[in-house]
């Protein structure tokens, strides 16, 4: 996808600067504002820039695919890599921030202990 594409101006990049998972004011930027002039839209299972190969697990996170984009940095066109990362999760350990109200009927149910 090039900056000549008809939909180029409607695309935005979200950078979660405060890492709260919510797109806040100032976290969305146009591709032009970031100096991006090309995006590779076909994912690859290998990283041609010498980075970590797709399909590799790093710190428990799977690098599923990678693609490239071109960005202008200090007047020079530079190729960079972006990846689709499947983040590790552990469903056993959870932190619930809201209480679940229990009915009297639910409170009367058996409590089973695991081994």
Domain edges within the chain:
35-109
Q: Are 3 and 32 in contact (CB under 8 A)?
A: yes
State pTM to two decimals. Answer: 0.57
User: pLDDT at residue 31 above 70?
Assistant: yes
Model confidence at 17, in pLDDT bands (50, 70, 90)?
very high
Over residues 74-93, mean pLDDT: 85
pLDDT at 66: 84
pLDDT at 51: 54
Residue 79 to residue 58: CA distance in whole angstroms: 22
Structure tokens at 46: 């290998």
């Amino acid at each position: 996808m090039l900056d000549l594409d008809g939909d180029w101006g409607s695309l935005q990049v979200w950078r979660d600067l405060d890492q709260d998972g919510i797109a806040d004011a100032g976290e969305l930027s146009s591709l032009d504002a970031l100096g991006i002039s090309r995006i590779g839209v076909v994912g690859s299972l290998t990283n041609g820039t010498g980075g970590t190969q797709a399909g590799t697990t790093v710190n428990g996170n799977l690098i599923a695919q990678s693609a490239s984009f071109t960005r202008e940095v200090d007047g020079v066109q530079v190729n960079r890599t972006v990846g689709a990362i499947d983040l590790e999760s552990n469903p056993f350990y959870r932190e619930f921030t809201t209480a679940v109200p229990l009915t009297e009927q639910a409170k009367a149910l058996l409590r089973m202990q695991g081994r």
